[in-house]
């Protein structure tokens, strides 16, 4: 996993937002991300392109 993604997930954990890796088979508002009962469900295969796209645009550095 990219170090930037790890830093983002560590930050979310530090501020009390729990996350769990899973496979999301349904369509979600943000690809690869769904919130269930206050926990971020992350499908890295579907959502990783979003992070890569942000990095290419200079949003994440």
For the chain, how many structural domains are there in total? 1
Domain span at residue 47? 3-56
pLDDT at site 30: 83
Handedness of CA 51, 12, 42, 4 (dihedral sign): positive
pLDDT at site 23: 93
pLDDT at site 57: 73
Q: How far apart are CA 58 and CA 46, in angstroms?
A: 20
pLDDT at site 8: 81
Contact by Cβ (8 Å): 45, 22: no
In a domain, 19, yes or no: yes
pLDDT tens figures, 17-59: 999 999 999 998 888 889 999 998 988 888 766 666 666 777 6
Q: Quote the distance between the C-alpha of residue 18 and its chain's center.
A: 11
Q: Is residue 27 within a helix (H) or strand (E), and if so which, with residue range? A: none
In a domain, 13, yes or no: yes
CB count within 10 Å of CB 1 equals 10
In a domain, 61, yes or no: no
In a domain, 25, yes or no: yes
């Amino acid at each position: 996993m990219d170090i930037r993604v790890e830093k983002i997930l560590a930050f979310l954990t530090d501020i009390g937002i729990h996350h769990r890796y899973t496979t999301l088979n349904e369509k979600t508002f943000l690809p690869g991300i769904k919130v269930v009962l206050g926990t971020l469900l992350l499908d890295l295969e579907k959502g990783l392109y979003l992070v890569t796209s942000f990095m290419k645009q200079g949003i994440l550095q």
